[in-house]
Each structure stands twice: as structure tokens, then as C-alpha cells.
Chain A
Amino acid sequence: MKLSKKQLAATFMTAILAGSVMIGSVATVEADNASGSPEEQADITNWIANTPEQISNNMAMQHINTNNLNGTRYIIQWGDTLSGISAATGISVAKLCYDNNIQNANLIFAGDVLILNREGSVPASYDPNVNPNVVAQTKITINNGPTTVNITVQPQSVVKNYDNSDNSDHSTTIYKAGAVNSFNNNDNDNEQSASQSSSTKSAKHQKHTSSVSASDIVSGLNDANNNDKLSFDEGDGGSDADELNVDSAAILKDAKKNDYDAILSEIESALGSKAKKDTTVYIEKDGNEIHVYASVNDDADSSNSSSTKDDEDSDSSSSSSESGSSDDSSQSSSDDEDSHSQATTSDQDTDTSDDE
């Protein structure tokens, strides 16, 4: 069959147009991998912090020139952290928070837009109070299959940190999305509505808790405290302080009831043996959560531990947790982040099938 010149030209043009559309759609998908099925969202790779190089690559995929950042919009990807974005762009974490009205670095969300702006400065008094190493969160709870599952095989350090006899009841772990989006520049309609609803909820919740501040709790604890080894202050205590594993909700509830003896008891319990040492306890209020940190001032304590503050932490874990440890406890105990309390003797190794 012989094609005319017109037919050839039409075929050629169609191929070019179809090709450009396909390339465009592929590029869009590659540039924004922040969406995906629940299976993909739950994948462990999304919860590992990206390296600055990876973030630079993500920005390049979004056609962002990191040498010219003047109000540039970047779609946050899974695994992004503020510290990583800061390293990739050269913009300080404080500037990123300031420009994007981020009150808490735990609240950057995959799929949100982050404004990157090298211009301008941050007021000296601005303190975003952030942990810039937390990976981007999700606004939508990632539930796939049953809404409550049980992890039967758990690392020893987890067993020691939490009473996992019922996995749904981790005092410090919330297995659902619901954090408030603190951005003021979100242009994703669907997520914006989700954000608004959660913001509304948060505002209501804030109303209930606004009467109690960190300073109120510190003041109440100082009044209630009879232990001259313990002192209380506001803040996070800096790098020398370790976060205690306490029930934030219970502390807030007790604070509202002015039951500072109960809070003191909770903190002393979390402190373990540290309560007998010269320790400063720091209280920090982060939205509706209370964070408690402890810094041991006792020199003798630090000289006992061979290396790090982690050893101090394992100091405070009770002997029952030690006795519950098994073959791999020796190494894990030296590096547990928060092994202050809630030691458990439950046998987590019971291998009941729950995975179907």
C-alpha cells in the first residue's frame, strides 16, 4: 500500500503529539511520588530519611534549580526531612519553618508544597521548636486490611520499651494520622479539606488544653516535689537531656486537675534510678503533647557509664527488664533510646499467626 505525503505527515504529527503527552505524564509521575496505594505508602522505604542527595534529585525531577530558590515550590516526598531539605538547599531549618509557618517539624507532610526561599531573614526571637529529622508524615491514615494488627516478633529493645501485650495500646505511639497541617500554603484541594477538618478538631482540643502550659506544670511540680535531687524547668534540656517515656495525655489530664503528685509519681517512675540522682527534669509542651526530658547532673553517674547517655538510659530500666532479656539483649540495652520504664516480662516471641 502506498501512502500519500499527506498521510505520512499526519502519521508523523500524531506520533509526535502522542509521544509528548506520554513523556509529560511519565515525568509528572516521576516528579511526584508522594502519592501511591496504601501498600506503597506503608512500605518501609517511605519511612527512611532521604539523603540530601536524594532530595536534590527529587528537586531536579521537579525542575527546581537549587541555585535559584526564590519562592520556589517543592512538593515534599516520602522520606524527606527538614534537615535533609535544608542540607540540599542551603536554607536553614529555621528559615524553612518561618517561611512555611511550620510550628512543629513533625508536621511536614508528603505531598504538601514547601516554599523554598533563600531571600529574607528570620527574626532573632523566632524559635520553631522542631525536630528536623522526622520524616514527612501522612495526613491520611494508612490502613490496609484490618485496622488493628499485632506484631508477634518484636526486637528486644521494643519489648523493653513498651508493654506490647496489646499492640494497640502503646502509650507513646499513635497508629493513625491526624496531626495538624501547619502549612499556610497548601494548594492540594483534597488534602486541604482534610487539613481543615483536622485543624478544626485541633482547635477544639486546644481550647480544652490551653489552660495548662509548660510553665504551669513546672510550677506545680516544683511545689509538689519533696525530692531535693530533682528540679524542674521548661524546655527540652538540650542535647544532654533524654526524653522520658511518659504518658503525655495522663500528664495533661492530671495537670488540669492540679494533681501534680500524680505527675510527679509518673515522672519518678519513668526516671527509675535517675530519680535518686541529681537530675533536672525539663517539661516541654508541643501542641497537645507533653514531652518530658531528664538530664543527670551527677558526675559520678556519667563516669560510671562507659560511653554514652544511652547507658544512662539503660541504667534506669528496671532489673525486671534485664531479667526478661534474652540472647540479644546485651547490645540492644546499651543503645535503647527510651528504656526508662514499662519493662515487660511478657513473652513476645509467642509465634501466633496473625498475618493473614
Chain B
Amino acid sequence: MQKKTKIIISVLVAAMVVIGGFYLYASRTVAKRLPGHVYEYTSVSGNQNAYMTFATSGDQVVVTPDKDTAIKASNSASDFQQAYQDNAKDGKWNYKAQGNRLTLSKLQNGKVSMWQYNHMLALGKKMRSGNFTYQIANAGQGIDHKATKFEQIR
């Protein structure tokens, strides 16, 4: 085998290792990036936002359309609990992140709705989901093959 061919193969292998490593890293760090932070979620249509403040510990999350509420909830554990309880009348939100998936659940009137964001990639302060699986009480269930964005704002 010629030296040139060896070099090309080596470069390709190295590139694959780097890309694969990057993908593994970006897809396995979602859970670590959430606790204690506020994320701005951008909807499928791109023209709506929600703000999510993840508890420092536990699986609670404040999900609100109001940015100020979300930011305030991240100030301290007591502020978080205050915001969580204040919003509880509109449903209690919890989450779980595992691997490259993030699921948000809403419990209200004994009925649970869930949105599972799949194929999540995290880089810097941004996360991207390739699609999401949903089960919405009294509404329906299915898979949306539309990308959505999460951006850490605090």
C-alpha cells in the first residue's frame, strides 16, 4: 500500500473517531446540563417560546411562558419551590433526562401528558432535539419529526 493511501485512510479514521466521539459526547451530556439552569425552548413553528427552570436536585421543573418567572425560579432553592408551587395550579411539571432523551411531564387533574425529546445533541449552551414523542391527555399521541431547540439562558 502506498504511503499516500495510508495517510488518507489514517485521516479518515481519525476524522470518524473525532466525529463519533463528538456525537457521543454531545448526545450523552444532556442530563448533566439541566439541573439548576434555565432554558429557552423554541417551538416547532419557531414563533413561540417556553422557559424551563430545572431544579438543582430532583425531577421538578418550572415550565412557563414567562421569562421573568423562570429566571426568578433559578435564583435559589426557595425561589424555585415558590415558583413551582405558584404554577402547580396549572399543572405540575417533572422531567427526566437519560442518554440523548429528555422527557417533560405535566400532571393535572390526575391526568399526565408527556413530551419526550429524542436524539438530543448538546453543544455549548444549545441543545437540539431531532424529533419528539408525545402523549397528551385528551388530545392524542404520536411522533413529531420536527426539530426543536433549547438554549440555556441562565
Contacts and interface: CB of A to CB of B under 8 A. Distances in A.
Interface of A: 36, 38-51, 53-54, 79, 81, 83, 106, 131, 133-135, 137-138, 141-158, 161-162, 167, 170, 172-179, 243, 245, 291, 328, 330-332, 335-338, 349, 351, 354-356
B137 A175 contact: yes
B2 interface: no
Contacts of B27: none
Interface in B118-154: 118-119, 131-146, 148
Nearest to A353: B118
17 contacts: A36-B45, A43-B44, A43-B148, A45-B41, A134-B108, A142-B134, A144-B143, A152-B116, A155-B96, A158-B114, A176-B140, A332-B58, A337-B110, A338-B110, A354-B133, A355-B118, A355-B143
B75 interface: no
Given A44-B104, A154-B114, A176-B138, 12 more contacts: A36-B45, A39-B145, A47-B139, A48-B90, A50-B65, A142-B139, A145-B143, A175-B139, A176-B140, A179-B138, A338-B107, A355-B143
A331 B60 contact: yes
Given A36-B45, A351-B101, A175 B141 contact: yes
Nearest to A30: B47
A137 B138 contact: yes
B138 to A, nearest CB: 5
B73 interface: no
A47 B93 CA distance: 11
A152 B103 CA distance: 9
B142 A42 contact: yes
A191 to B, nearest CB: 15
Nearest to A53: B66
* Top-8 shortest CB links A-B: A331-B58, A144-B142, A142-B140, A155-B94, A49-B90, A355-B118, A45-B48, A141-B140
A131 B107 contact: no
Contacts of B88: 335, 337
A331 B134 contact: no
B38 interface: no
A158 B107 contact: yes
B55 to A, nearest CB: 6
Given A45-B43, A154-B114, A331-B60, A175 B99 contact: no
B142 A145 contact: yes
Contact of B103 (A48, A53, A151): A151
Nearest to B106: A47
Contact of A143 (B41, B105, B142): B142
B33 interface: no
A328 B106 contact: no
B137 A149 contact: no
Contacts of A291: 110
B141 A147 contact: yes
Nearest to B84: A335
Contacts of A79: 65
A53 B84 CA distance: 20
B5 to A, nearest CB: 37
A170 B132 CA distance: 20
A153 B113 contact: no
A171 to B, nearest CB: 9
A154 B114 CA distance: 8
Contact of B59 (A148, A155, A178): A155
A214 B145 CA distance: 44
A138 to B, nearest CB: 5
Given A157-B59, A174-B137, A355-B119, A40 B44 contact: yes
Contacts of B109: 106, 131, 134, 243
B89 to A, nearest CB: 5
